Chain A
Amino acid sequence: MMLTPMERGLEVFAVIHLGLMGLSHVIHHRAWAEFFILLRGRGYPGVFVHGFLSLAFGSMILGFHDVWSGIPAVLTVVGVLYLLKTLQCFLLPAVSMRSLNRISVERSRVFIAPGVVFLALAAVVSYGLVRGG
């Protein structure tokens, strides 16, 4: 399917984000645990900071990438999931806080799994970009 220049631009934007975040989560999982523990230490304001990060990424995708078929639909679904995560942060901060409470430096390896998922998503979106010409 043919994407508009705007949709292709958004996919490049997403590949940069997902690729860097994925690699960083895999290589520096301990530092990411420290990052979220720092946010947790701020209480609900820390949850809101986390929410803003998800809101920026999710709203960019949904605003500029309204594609619901083929490989590009994967990225659109990612955008919807990010928006749901954002809603949880801003509307149910206690639930998000419970997730943050589970994080510890000793179990920082749990960040490797989402890192691998980010990298897989970056690969799928890149494949769609290359195949789209």
Chain B
Amino acid sequence: MERAIEVFAAIQLTVIGVSHIFHHRAWAEFFIWLRGKGLPGVFANGFTNLAMGSMIVGFHRVWSGVPLVLTVFGVLNVVKAAHSFLLPERSLRLMSRVSLERSWEFAAAGVVALVLAAVTAYGVVSGT
């Protein structure tokens, strides 16, 4: 079960990571569009974190070795989802930092996602 979640997460992180790097401007536009919807936009963003985070925390509670990295990532996603659903005004203020001029920040996030995908994939392949 844990291995299945690791494969699931590696696929998600790779696709989203590569997309953030190559299409950082489109991602900035996406979040600016969500921001324009106000608090409902924050909730929509929260659902994406909730889906990923709850899958990992529910089915991948491994607290040692390389897989620990993915578990911590899952917990952070749940925390981010909680921030969106319980403190939406604050999340909206954070989203207001997004601009097309600084869209390169999404590329940086994409690199982090790819590193996480690589670490998770290494754990799957090495069987740790």
Contact = CB atoms under 8 A, between A and B. Distances in A.
Interface of A: 5-6, 9-14, 16-17, 20-21, 23-24, 27-28, 31-32, 34-35, 38, 53, 56
- How big is chain B's contact interface, by range? 20 to 34
Main secondary structure of the interface of A (DSSP, over half): helix
B43 A35 contact: yes
Contacts, number: 62
Contacts of A16: 50, 53-54, 57-58, 78
Contacts of A17: 50, 54
Interface string B8-48: 00000000000000000000000000000111101110010
Interface in B75-105: 78, 81-82, 85-86, 88
A91 B109 CA distance: 39
B51 A27 contact: no
Nearest to B81: A20
Interface string B53-73: 111011101000000000000
Contacts of B125: none
Given A16-B53, A16-B78, A20-B85, A6 B59 contact: yes
